[in-house]
Structure 1
């Protein structure tokens, strides 16, 4: 009969052309495709010209005007009756023959449909009203389905029956599952019972709704509609109570819920409890003892946070951006400041985890390596829980297809390479599902995103550690900081002591251009002139070539490294080296770039040469591959290894065209060079002789490299002098 419904659509509406769609597949299977087609067919029969898949306000109001009820005695166009019969079959009810008659079979089925919906008392009889018609032409079930909760179905039917005649209330599924639709209808119900008129009630947890809840504190013995609404909210949050009055048993269950959610355990239906049952963030005015943020915790800010009652601070292990949120990553000396002020830190790992495409097994394995690297670098001890972020509204199917495989790979890699534990940051559903698979120790819940489909209709995860509920500001003046306020369950108390690491307050900082730019440029120019490198020209340049090919002056080379100061500073911090070790060769090679280099690059481009030194740092692809692969193999950085032969040309073009990649390879090459010539790995406390030897190896070996090492070491010294001033 579903097949006959599909044939009716295709034969009546020119294989879908009349409805603005393709022909409906004639396969006998009900689906949204069929329901959308029936909705468009109804709109067409009602005279609506702008057809759409949605059974929206226009369709509803037009139907209400023309056919406020359709039954055996109304004069209804034959095709509309056939649409009803087709919808009944697609919904699982007997529509009789699809013959355009409102026969006894149709009447009996509509009567049963309304009973299943829960609206038979409010809308008695066998007629089909506009809202019932809307419920007919969708895929919502109105019978208990596999795994459904009979108590939840009872609530759904009760909501439908009590509020179906209110203007903005739409009939909801009655299949026994909580959902965002049910959650929003609960808010409508609260507003209706608070006396809000149609058009005022909007399903939003606003001031009017909150004010009403504050006036309806319930306790043992409370009965009536508010007790029904409260017990319904408890059941929807998976609390085993009877729907109806506020009994002693309900009070006991409320106390258990309050204890679980870290609310005052009063056993009453107070405002905080109402709020936590109805919206994910609950009562946002309640005090939080945990927070997270993207701003450095200074001594003044730490004191302000402690005074405000905070004890746990979430900070990020890594920030992939060199342009945005520059204090997002844990800053030098920050963990010591946090600890000295009585605060504990819990680490968060997030790069670009904001779409489904990010979550793959390969990415999970890589993130485990990266997070381990940074956690160890900052001194987090074994047993620390690292919260890996799922920072978007992951649909349930995406959790299955992408997020769970990502966390499986992440767990496998993390458990094999470190003593850290996996936590998850995300909406309620994704946190619970990852936890149910045994893939997370605790959950950091983004309940502030109350509109997420993964929050609406889902209870607080059973293993929640931190519940993010609001963005607030704490402190004033130098102590002012914006944070996300979190409730803490006590399942994770973070860290307040750390292993000794190479990360220290002596790491380089961003260059203070206002104080030192002009002076540094003058000192560089003075030094370079002293070794025969003028501001302009030299190295085989003719005046004509300089003008036409665009030579690089000392000032231009200097401005290059300043333009990449954020990248270079962060890179030096990550690697635990002096930024001058990166700046010096890049500035030197940029200034010494000449027509010979141009010709060499051109030869590679046309295939006459396999490679040349190229880019700001004038690096050979083979050298870059050696440096990159060495650093990956030693877990200095994370990434995939390059094939020295197959990837040579790809890496060369990346060195030539990608400035950031070129600069990074300049730094990585130093680690390979140090191993090659037998000097200690680059660090913050290298001896001058080792620095000079390393700089020389960057150019190669032999007499020319020895001259290079002395000349560029001089550039290093000038740069390091000013970097030291910036460090203070």
Structure 2
């Protein structure tokens, strides 16, 4: 919601600092945001005489402010614009800045007093003056009161930390908003080091050897008291452990909570605040020297390596379903590798990752395509129904990325897996926050956590996902000589035991592949030539799409058509033919028919209850019957509907009419249903011309006209196959 005083602060920036190099114009929208806070920081730097302006209120800004005005109050006399910057920041924080007039009046003094109380630093910085660290805390987006979803207990700890440590050189005011976060986690590491006796020159916030050694000397147990118990209970609360209170006394309740946490992260259950427990509370890897029972790798697990891994105590292997197109790394499961792995008593879980290394990769359509591709590869390697496939998010995704791209991406994966996966389930590989949020949406059932990336924004300040199955903590080498293999050492929770058997490899199948764009012109030319031989011109009266336009529309969906064909083990040509035919023959009569259906359902009178529609010109009743048939066969997992019930017809008709992906997805099911209807076998990779003709005829209907039309479509099928067959055989 816009605030007039925030708008006045923004106007102050634009008016007073207009034309100052390094100070940008800000939108005068009355909404506090980072752009306004960054601009105010630059304004302050300018007033301090700094020539290199930046968004960061860093050490130079802080030290310069400290040297010139160690306190700003009614009795000090800094330039009026510095007071105005402070007043503007207070308004942006939701405090009364006493107008933006450059006067440190009673209202400003009261606001600063209230702010310091909210921060927890009123004892450290008594009175109503603004100190440099408080000023730094004003010019950011941190909140100092509990905000939505925050915890009062967490805020108590945040204020306690600020009060106790604010006078340490590298400790700055942390948020007091009731939320555990990256900044709070980093501050906690400094606090641990301060309590270990490290000086300001030594403490660096890094979980290094000295910090680890110090924690090993501070094991807590029932009866322990003091600040170390405060810190341990705080870390437990930050990690969202139920039933923990912020305390300086290690009692039976805290010991019980420690045991529960140790069980959760698979540590020895001691009920103590020992080193490994501290480590798991403070950094995402925990004690990175822990011995795991699972691992993942990009290297083939052959017999010597399998023996070395088995001897080292490993039980579960994570391997990749496929390689990344355009790269030379051969990380995928190799022929007969699974036989070797399983034959040595190891179990296996599959990982699907093509790219996934930037937010731009993730979206609903890419997710749906990845789901199809993973199904095809999982079946290729022989993974049985019930196998969980882990889909990778392999970059430092911020929370906004999860909302905008990653959750929609996983919705796409889930749609493909649910509808075509035949019993496969979904897991996720990624940072803690990504795993927790995607799992929280019900899109995945287990998390493979990339905890080695301790600095990831999605790991630092986030607890372990409740549904974690594997915790990736370190890259190590196992074995030597021909038994040597580099792996990622993973802790296993027991949620996913991996698979102990696969379907034995059969005859290699030549699945269709995406079309090679260099042949688009030649394919279009051959289609035009064939159409001319059967009397179809480039364009027709009352037909909005020419042959070329129809072809372009069809090929825009090549990835989807290819994925459908691969997942259903049929020829993509069989899907392409009716689509191209119907798009090219789409006419004014079809437009009128669509309008009649809408009229029936929207007006409640007249019109008609159903009609062929969309790219594939499919009746809703036909789509429902076809999809029901595929559900009965176990190849599609969707609710069955009633093709005679208008309440079912209308939603399906609308999807057929308005959602091209849905319409195209129905086409192969119409073929499967149609084959059954005419007594032909289900469409397959080695379908005969005779059966192909019967299915193409049935798609059109029945009778002499459909027979004649089917013969023409068979010729078009052969044109497509003359290109698709060589591509899949490469």
State if a TM-score over 0.5 links the two structures. Answer: yes
User: 1:275-312 deviations in whole A, cap 9, x for unaligned?
Assistant: 00000110011110000000000111111111111000
SS at match of 1:425: strand
SS at match of 1:471: strand
Q: Structure 1 CA distance, aligned partners of 2:212 and 2:144? A: 31
Q: Structure 1 CA distance, aligned partners of 2:310 and 2:522? A: 60
Deviation at 1:389, TM superposition (A): 0.9
**Which residue of 2 is the match for residue 293 of structure 1?**
297
Cα RMSD for the two superposed structures: 3.5
- Farther-moved stretch of structure 1 (333-342 vs 267-276): 333-342
**Which residue of 1 is the match for residue 431 of structure 2?**
427
SS at match of 2:100: coil
**Which residue of 1 is the match for residue 199 of structure 2?**
197
Q: Structure 1 CA distance, aligned partners of 2:280 and 2:684? A: 56
**Which residue of 1 is the match for residue 84 of structure 2?**
82
Q: 8 Å contact 2:386–2:423 — kept in the other structure?
A: yes
Is 1:2 paired with 2:6? Answer: yes
Deviation at 1:611, TM superposition (A): 9.2
**Which residue of 2 is the match for residue 179 of structure 1?**
181
**Which residue of 2 is the match for residue 164 of structure 1?**
166
Q: Structure 2 CA distance, aligned partners of 1:436 and 1:111? A: 40
Q: 8 Å contact 1:367–1:410 — kept in the other structure?
A: yes
User: 1:448-493 deviations in whole A, cap 9, x for unaligned?
Assistant: 1111111111111111111111000000100100000000011110
**Which residue of 2 is the match for residue 331 of structure 1?**
334
**Which residue of 1 is the match for residue 598 of structure 2?**
none
**Which residue of 1 is the match for residue 362 of structure 2?**
359
Deviation at 1:630, TM superposition (A): 8.1
User: 1:573-630 deviations in whole A, cap 9, x for unaligned?
Assistant: 77489xxxxxxxxxxxxxxxxxxxxxxx9x989x999799xxxxxxxx99x9999978
Call closer, same or farther: CA 1:19–1:85 in 2, change over 3 Å.
Answer: farther
Deviation at 1:157, TM superposition (A): 1.0
Is 1:412 paired with 2:415? Answer: yes
TM-score, scaled to structure 2: 0.71
Query: Which residue of the other structure, out of 280, 283, 292, is the alignment partner of 1:276?
Result: 280
**Which residue of 1 is the match for residue 322 of structure 2?**
318
Deviation at 1:413, TM superposition (A): 1.6
Q: Structure 2 CA distance, aligned partners of 1:638 and 1:271? A: 59
Q: 8 Å contact 2:372–2:563 — kept in the other structure?
A: no
Call closer, same or farther: CA 1:290–1:80 in 2, change over 3 Å.
Answer: same
**Which residue of 2 is the match for residue 439 of structure 1?**
443
Q: 8 Å contact 2:189–2:282 — kept in the other structure?
A: yes
Call closer, same or farther: CA 1:295–1:647 in 2, change over 3 Å.
Answer: farther
TM-score, scaled to structure 1: 0.72
Is 1:451 paired with 2:383? Answer: no
Q: 8 Å contact 2:47–2:81 — kept in the other structure?
A: yes
Q: Structure 2 CA distance, aligned partners of 1:390 and 1:246? A: 39
Q: 8 Å contact 2:511–2:685 — kept in the other structure?
A: no
- Any unmatched runs of 5+ in structure 1? 504-572, 578-600, 613-620, 649-670, 681-699, 706-711, 720-728
- Any unmatched runs of 5+ in structure 2? 513-518, 531-547, 585-682, 693-717
User: 1:161-200 deviations in whole A, cap 9, x for unaligned?
Assistant: 1111111112111100001111111111111111111132
Q: Structure 1 CA distance, aligned partners of 2:91 and 2:305? A: 65
Where does structure 1 differ by over 4 angstroms across 4 or more consecutive aligned residues? 607-612, 624-632, 636-648, 671-680
- Farther-moved stretch of structure 1 (360-369 vs 22-31): 22-31
SS at match of 1:346: strand
Is 1:265 paired with 2:197? Answer: no
Is 1:496 paired with 2:428? Answer: no
Q: 8 Å contact 1:70–1:128 — kept in the other structure?
A: yes
Question: Alignment length, in residue pairs?
Answer: 562
Alignment of 1:63-212 (within 5 A): 63-212=65-214
- Farther-moved stretch of structure 1 (347-356 vs 407-416): 407-416
Q: Structure 1 CA distance, aligned partners of 2:412 and 2:526? A: 44
Call closer, same or farther: CA 1:441–1:104 in 2, change over 3 Å.
Answer: same
User: 1:654-678 deviations in whole A, cap 9, x for unaligned?
Assistant: xxxxxxxxxxxxxxxxx99965678
Query: Which residue of the other structure, out of 481, 486, 499, is the alignment partner of 2:485?
Result: 481
**Which residue of 1 is the match for residue 467 of structure 2?**
463
Q: Structure 2 CA distance, aligned partners of 1:211 and 1:608? A: 74
